[in-house]
Amino acid sequence: MKKLVTILAASAMLVSLAGCAGGLDASADGPKDPGDIVVGFAQVGAESGWRTANTKDIQDSFKEAGIELKFSDAQQKQENQIKAIRSYITQGVDVIAFSPVVETGWDAVLQEAKDADIPVVLTDRAVDSKDDSLYVSFLGSDFILEGEKAGEWLVEEYKDQTEPVKIIQLEGTTGAAPAIDRAEGFANVIAADPKFEVVASQTGDFTRAGGKQVTEALLKSNPDVDVIYSHNDDMGLGAIEAIEAAGLKPGKDIKIITVDAVKDGMQALADGKINFIVECSPLLGKQLIEIVEKVVAGEEVEKRIVADETTFTQEQAIEALPDRKY
Ligand code: GZL
Ligand code: ZN
């Protein structure tokens, strides 16, 4: 009897070893179970309502899928993101995903991930690397289109006005893809009519405090401004505080266009303090999981996956607010 038990135990050991060895070569025993996959995510920070909604959605999605997520918050510093990516490489995670705080300066660390055979997924923001073999997929919004949508609303809003329309632009983080591209898309559209003039443009770093400080300063030098175009809701909400502190009515004396459509922005839109919001969806968790599972199973993934999103007027915001997820 004793002999039989030892033989059984030994063979069970062998099977489990084979199983684990098989895990290294997915083809042997099919794709890894979600429970065996480990993903390292290097998040930008927690600078805005959009970012916190994006983090929550990613963490909830991974919990639901039963996939282990190692998560880091870089406080909007590129060197912290690079450090986090390096630590994921050392830990030998299956996939690395991150939202690059700025477009430049990633080639070296992405090459290190490639040399370590760890696929990288870009979420939300892009890198300017010429070598697109450094990442398997870029999942996120089309920020140029978002800027164009903002410009199109402005052109429509002022189609009957001939005298100049003076605009202050609140830029996102300097060097970040959404800041570069939202400025580009907006400029493309308003170039159609010389009455539109961006009298001042400055970064508020995507934060509410930044938007308030910059607007206070720019209103002093441009008291007769008509419109504020803000690259995200949070800076727009800061601008509202500055406009009210100057004794003016946001949404009336100065019209405001923002991007994101997070709850606080949508509430200000419903209250008439913002006039138009271009949505930028933070809900990338599900699509990121699909990419991770395909990559781990050795399947092809699309190089560029665009998040679907819309725009909101005041009426549409009032309609949408009750069941807004973020
Ligand atoms: C856009 C995202 C931007 C948001 C900001 O996808 O990168 O960063 O628009 C956030 O709110 O800070
Ligand atoms: Zn770009």
Structure tokens at 19: 């199983």
Strand, coil or helix: 96 = strand
Q: What is the pLDDT of residue 34?
A: 82
| Ligand 1 atom having least distance to the Cα of 49 | 11
Cα(14) to centroid(ligand 1), Å: 50
Q: Do residues 134 and 119 touch, judged by C-beta distance below 8 A?
A: no
* Exposed / middle / buried, residue 159 (Cβ in 10 Å: 0-12, 13-18, 19+): exposed
Cα(123) to centroid(ligand 1), Å: 11
From the CA of 49, which ligand is nearest? Answer: 1
Any idea which residue has 């996120």 for tokens?
Answer: 140
Cα(8) to centroid(ligand 1), Å: 57
Residue nearest to atom 11 of ligand 1 (CA): 50
- ∠178-43-101 over CA atoms, to 5°? 35
Please, what are the domains in the chain?
Answer: 32-140+282-308 (3.40.50.2300), 143-280 (3.40.50.2300)
**Ligand 1 pocket, residues with Cβ under 6 angstroms:** 47-48, 50-51, 124-125, 140-141, 178, 206, 232, 234, 259-260, 280
Structure tokens at 296: 């781990």
Q: What is the pLDDT of residue 21?
A: 39
Q: What is the pLDDT of residue 27?
A: 45
Ligand 2 (ion): which residues have CB within 5 A? 177, 180
**Cβ-proximal residues to 143 (8 Å cutoff; 6+ apart), any chain:** 177, 178, 180, 181, 182, 185, 280
Which of 44, 50, 99 has the most ligand 1 atoms within 8 A of CB, as the residue to mutate? Answer: 50
Which of 232, 257, 258 has the most ligand 1 atoms within 8 A of CB, as the residue to mutate? Answer: 232
- CA dihedral (41, 45, 50, 56) positive or negative: positive
- Return the number of other C-beta atoms located less than 10 Å from residue 233's C-beta: 30
Q: What is the pLDDT of residue 29?
A: 52
* Exposed / middle / buried, residue 241 (Cβ in 10 Å: 0-12, 13-18, 19+): middle
Cα(51) to centroid(ligand 1), Å: 6
Closest CA to 73 of 94, 101, 113: 101
Cα(128) to centroid(ligand 2), Å: 6
**Cβ-proximal residues to 4 (8 Å cutoff; 6+ apart), any chain:** none
Q: In tens digits, what is the pLDDT along the chain, a chain of 326 residues?
A: 566 555 555 555 544 444 443 334 444 555 678 889 999 999 999 999 999 999 999 999 999 999 999 999 999 999 999 999 999 999 999 999 999 999 999 999 999 999 999 999 999 999 999 999 999 999 999 999 999 999 999 999 999 999 999 999 999 999 999 999 999 999 999 999 999 999 999 999 999 999 999 999 999 999 999 999 999 999 999 999 999 999 999 999 999 999 999 999 999 999 999 999 999 999 999 999 999 999 999 999 999 999 889 999 999 999 999 988 88
pLDDT > 90 fraction of the chain, expressed in percent and rounded: 87
Cα(311) to centroid(ligand 1), Å: 16
pTM over 0.85: yes
Q: Do residues 230 and 170 touch, judged by C-beta distance below 8 A?
A: yes
pLDDT digits (tens, 9 = 90+) for 161-183: 999 999 999 999 999 999 999 99
Q: Write out the E strands in the chain.
A: 38-43, 68-73, 95-98, 120-123, 137-140, 165-171, 196-203, 227-230, 255-260, 276-279, 304-306, 311-312
Exposure b/e, 114-132, CB count within 10 A at least 16 = b: eeeebbbbbbbbbbebeee
Residue nearest to atom 3 of ligand 1 (CA): 178
Q: What is the pLDDT of residue 32?
A: 79
